[in-house]
Amino acid sequence: MVRTWSHRLVECVLTSILVVHIAQVRIIFKLPEHIGHYPHPLAYVEWFTSLRRRDPVSGQFVVTRSTRNHQRNVSVISADRFAHPCHLQAQCGRKITLDWTSDNVLEMVSAFHVNSYISLDTFVALSDCY
């Protein structure tokens, strides 16, 4: 039987384990053969902070860029660790800056709401999460 990532996430939530993080994917690549063999493609990712803080009004998780030594926190990971696409919405104040576009908003904004309304399964997976 094929099951969704939300089934798996709910299983993990029931055991109170924080199991997913959010990352922006920068490169999907293969390791050159002379360096070694790895069974999956690799990805260079930039991490966001953990799913811990919720917005008091919308109830959505709020995340920011994770940093290390004042630089973006980055890693190379195996492609089998990707669970599901994630939609982030820029957190805005009273005004929305006109400079923001879908192409640059991830670079220009410091805090984001994790959009749990993007799909029913995402809503189910995140609604009782943590």
Partner 1 sequence: MPAKAAYKVAKFPARRVSVQQLQDDYQVPEFLAALKHFLNSRATRVKVVFPTESDRFEVFNQLYMANGPSVVTRHSSSWHKIHAKPKVAACGHKAESPAKFDTAFVWDEGHQPKTLLEPNGTYLVSSTR
Binding site for partner 1 (CB under 8 A): 1-8, 11-12, 17-32, 34-36, 38-45, 48, 71, 74-88, 103, 106, 119-121, 124
Least distance in angstroms from the C-beta of 42 to partner 1:
7
Contact 130, 13 (CB under 8 A): yes
CA distance 71 to 89: 22
Half-sphere exposure of 90 (CA within 13 A, CB side): 19
Q: Residues 87, 42, 40, CA angle at the centre, nearest 5°?
A: 110
Query: Using CA atoms, how far apart are residues 113 and 108, in angstroms rounded to an integer?
Result: 14
Residue 99 Cβ vs partner 1, minimum distance, rounded to whole Å: 15
Would you say 18 or 92 has its CB closer to partner 1? 18
Nearer to partner 1 (CB atom), residue 71 or residue 94 = 71
Q: Which is nearer to partner 1, 57 or 71 (CB)?
A: 71
What's the closest the beta carbon of residue 17 comes to partner 1, in angstroms? 7
Considering the complex, state which of residue 58 and residue 73 has its C-beta at the smaller distance from partner 1.
73
Residues 60 and 123: their CA atoms lie apart, in Å, by 10
Q: How far is the CB of 130 from partner 1 (least distance, A)?
A: 13
